[in-house]
Amino acid sequence: FASHMEGAPKGNQPSPTRRNHHVDNSHKGGAFSSPTRRYGGMPSMDSMSSFEGGGMRMRNMKRSASSSSLQDCLEAHTEVDRMQLAAIRVVAGSSHPSLAKKLSDTLGVSLTKCICEKFSNTECRVEILENVRKRNVFVVQTGGATRAGTINDHLMELLILVDACRRSHAASITVVMPCYPYARQDKKDRPRAPISGRLVANMLETAGVTRVMVMDLHAAQIQGFFNIPVDNLYADQLICNHLKQLGIYNTDQYVLVSPDSGGVKRLYNCAARLKLGAAIMHKQRDHTKSSKVDNTVLIGEEGCVRDKIAVIIDDMCDTMGTVVKASETLVENGAKAVMVAVTHGVLSGPAIQRINDCSHISKVIVTNTLPQEDNMAKCPKIEVIDVGELLGKAIRMYMTGGSISGLFS
């Protein structure tokens, strides 16, 4: 209130009562080094430049601190991810050890040592040779018949492996089962028929499984058989990328075909990715005989496959009865040749012989959700796509909190 008091000093003169308390800081640098800023008045140009320089230094310091904090956060996040991955234990069953090895290599971890063998009376003997306490265990066991045993042998071995991990106090137990067994027995379609797919789900949950990871379930409702999370991965993108490498993309020389109505969604997804035309077939089965297809009918515009190479897209091929019948129908409707691309190449019974004998089929593309070494040795038409890297990436996303669906976008 000094400016309103009688006898108050004028201009920039300091008040007498405050003169003794004034400290001259003019010899110091900074924004207030000029004497004109002691008690009001306009700052000089030097003081303004000094003030702006100090502000810029302050902003640069804040920006540097922000960048440093972001880098620290990224390093901390990476370290957390590294710790999460270090807690992984990958246990391989006897059904598909080569796939388990590729999966573990993708994760950068070694396979957990274990014993999977049979007694002379064919009972399974399992023993985990490394510590899995408080670890996230991933048991790799596919549902197919191999040289090591039948589907039932591998399923029982899987249940015993899970029980051994549970009794060893594993933090979580995830079953990586690329090919789900009994997937085609997913409904009660006849009187007094079982739903074996649901029974398998019950057994896995009872054994102590906390999560299941599968590929291309034969029926999507199988996920509802479980009361635990189920990750259903898709091989469509891998198959489409393989077909692109063969030059099958955005051309009128090829057409995609679904051998039955159950694969229509898969067919149109692949057709959209590859920018190809699509056609559907309907199969008529003889239910008095197992895996017997009487006839197939092509559904589509007239001439939709004429003078084109038809690529049959499906999730599974077993004895190749459906595929051979479909290929004959396609050739009768004008197709030049037939290729087959499926996720699960079961290829049991007379399948290999049928492929070799069918002159219409030029190539059969399958993934390695089931072992294919023996089939490739017997049939030169078979090509295999590896899914081990995809499974490893899905596990990494799950462990680090990433988006598994982002793998397929």
DSSP-derived secondary structure for 316-374: EESSSHHHHHHHHHHHHTT-SEEEEEEEEE---TTHHHHHHH-SSEEEEEEEBTS--HH
Distance separating alpha carbons of residues 406 and 402, to the nearest angstrom: 8
How buried is 145 (Cβ within 10 angstroms: 0-12 exposed, 13-18 middle, 19+ buried)? middle
Cβ-defined contacts of 198-204 (< 8 Å, 24+): 198/225, 200/155, 201/225, 201/226, 203/155, 203/159, 204/158, 204/159, 204/162, 204/175
Kind of pairing between the strands at 136-140 and 172-177:
parallel
pLDDT at 186: 94
According to DSSP, the residues that pair with 282 across neighbouring strands are 297
Residues in the chain: 409
205: exposed, middle or buried (C-beta count within 10 Å: 0-12, 13-18, 19+)? middle
How far is it, in rounded angstroms, from Cα 260 to Cα 321? 13
Q: What is the pLDDT of residue 191?
A: 93
Residues β-bridged to residue 296: 283
Looking from the CA of 297 toward its CB, the CA atoms found within 13 Å total 5
Helix (H) or strand (E) holding 84: helix 45-86
What per-residue confidence (pLDDT) applies to 292?
Answer: 58
Token representation of residue 399:
């462990």
Query: Cα–Cα distance between 180 and 172 in angstroms, integer?
Result: 20
pLDDT mean values, one per 10 residues, the chain (409 residues): 46 46 46 42 50 53 52 55 83 96 93 95 95 96 93 97 97 97 93 96 98 95 96 95 96 94 91 94 68 72 91 95 92 95 96 96 97 96 96 93 87
Contacts of 229 (CB under 8 A, 6+ apart): 211, 212
Residue 371 CA to residue 383 CA, distance in Å, equals 12
Q: Does 3.40.50.2020 match the CATH number of domain 236-367?
A: yes
Phi, psi of 204 (to 5 degrees): -65, -45
Q: Nearest to residue 95, comparing CAs of 73, 124, 121?
A: 124
**SS3 of the chain: helix, strand, coil, percent, to 5:** 40, 20, 40
Per domain, the residue ranges of the chain are: 75-233+392-403, 236-367
Helix (H, G, I), strand (E, B) or coil at 234: coil
Which residue's structure tokens are 């008690």?
A: 39
Q: How far is residue 145's CA from residue 302's CA, in Å, rounded to a whole number?
A: 41
For 75-233+392-403, the fitting CATH number among 3.40.50.2020, 1.10.3720.10, 1.10.760.10, 3.20.20.140 is 3.40.50.2020
Tell the residue number behind the tokens 């004034």, with chain if given: 22
pLDDT at 303: 86
Q: Are 204 and 195 in contact (CB under 8 A)?
A: no
Cα-Cα-Cα-Cα torsion 39, 45, 50, 53, nearest 10 degrees, comes to: 130
Q: How many CA atoms lie within 13 A of 212 on its CB side?
A: 32
Alpha helices for 87-187 (secondary structure H): 97-107, 151-167
Are 75-233+392-403 and 236-367 in the same CATH fold? Answer: yes
Could you tell me if 28 and 50 are in contact, meaning their C-beta atoms sit under 8 angstroms apart?
A: no
